[in-house]
Amino acid sequence: MTIPHVGPPVDAQTIDDAEAHLRERGMRVSTARRLLLETLFAAERPLSAEQIAAGLDGRLPRSDLASVYRNLEALEQVGLVRHFHLGHGPGLYALASRQTQELLVCERCDAVLAVDPGELDPVRERIRADFDFEARFVHFPIVGLCARCASAPAEAGEADR
Amino acid sequence: MTIPHVGPPVDAQTIDDAEAHLRERGMRVSTARRLLLETLFAAERPLSAEQIAAGLDGRLPRSDLASVYRNLEALEQVGLVRHFHLGHGPGLYALASRQTQELLVCERCDAVLAVDPGELDPVRERIRADFDFEARFVHFPIVGLCARCASAPAEAGEADR
DNA sequence: TTTTTTGCAAAACCTTTGCAGTTGG
DNA sequence: CCAACTGCAAAGGTTTTGCAAAAAA
């Protein structure tokens, strides 16, 4: 394992905030980075690198996928971006200022339950007390069954993704 | 997401048990499957498909990787095998009768804390009470920091895997 | 004999890397 | 000008799929 290092999340509310942050770190504000930031600011929910490269289904110009990955990593390192994994499938990226919630994902219907920071503290506390372990649900969410699926009859031929 | 369907874990203590189980289901006991079972019975810990195909570093004959994946899936469907993910990296497979514990993984040092069935029930109960969600830590473990890493000074240039 | 399973090859999928050329500061 | 960054192409790691040949029952 070993999760990407991210500086503390940066609270950038605008593209200008984000660009200022980059410059403060001596990083360049290139066309590709500006476009990536535009995409993330315009996005309503976390996106895969592929979706970002696709420019919001064509509403923005397409970017090179390798550069997108490189830039996502760069921006994540300075705390502007964060990403997480919803089980299998590609990583999902969002502005750190937007994606502050922690997630619980239903493994049957893929429903995502997003909870505000702190709401999982009692759970973390229980784990700390019982196992001397600091659980973090930021990069890999909690997986299980949502209320609806948990009470539904066990599906017979349940297929993998 | 959507996790592979597995029948209830089958308590096969020997290869013969496992083979009987296959025959009961109308599945064939082929050379490749027998070899896969031998490998899993001989393994001391969960293995990646690649490790299984490699025949325990050459102690057993090499198998075809595609067949290994197909057979792991088949055996998982009848409950003889289960697999899980330790963060990024390949899935890890074990006999369902062996790998009954749930896991907590340190995202910094990769240490794995294995706990017996039931030990996480208070945590699950807390999550159920707070979020009406049935957490399962079987396929994706709990990720966080082990005691040692949690108390260690925050590493500076922490790299992704 | 017939249906399942195999082995090989190829592809799919997500992500990273090498490198020569471009660009931001 | 020159280090940082880009785009392209290629490769890396994991898993899946197509298909003709082989083998289990």
Q: What is the pLDDT of residue A7?
A: 80
Tokens (6 digits) for A88: 């299998």
**What's the mean pLDDT in B10-31?**
97
Q: Does B24 touch chain A (CB under 8 A)?
A: no
Regions of chain A where pLDDT drops below 50: 156-161
Is residue B131 helix, strand or coil? helix
Look up the pTM and report it.
Answer: 0.92
Give residue for tokens 């973390």: A124
Using one digit for the tens of pLDDT, what is the confidence trace for A37-67?
999 999 999 999 999 999 988 999 999 999 9
Using one digit for the tens of pLDDT, what is the confidence trace for B132-154?
999 999 999 999 999 999 998 76
Given pLDDT bands bounded at 50, 70 and 90, which one contains residue B119?
very high
Distance CA B32, CA B36 (A): 6
Distance CA A145, CA B4 (A): 14
Q: Does A87 touch chain B (CB under 8 A)?
A: yes
User: Distance, in angstroms, between A3 CA and closest chain B CA?
Assistant: 5
**Contact, A65 CB vs strand C, < 7 Å:** yes
Give residue for tokens 């066309």: A31
Distance CA A93, CA B22 (A): 43
Distance CA B40, CA B51 (A): 10
Q: What is the pLDDT of residue B144?
A: 95
Q: Number of Cβ pairs closer than 8 Å across A and B?
A: 148
B100 CA → C15 C1’, Å:
32
pLDDT at B37 over 60: yes
pLDDT at B155 over 70: no
Q: Are B145 and A133 in contact (CB under 8 A)?
A: yes
Provide CB contacts within 8 A for A24, sequence distance 6+: none
**What's the mean pLDDT in B81-99?**
96
**What's the mean pLDDT in B62-91?**
97
Q: What is the pLDDT of residue A157?
A: 43
Q: Scan residues 51-80 of B and list those with Cβ closer than 8 Å to A.
A: 73
Q: What is the pLDDT of residue A29?
A: 98
Given pLDDT bands bounded at 50, 70 and 90, which one contains residue B36?
very high
**What's the mean pLDDT in B74-90?**
96
A140 CA → C25 C1’, Å:
38
A15 CA → D5 C1’, Å:
19
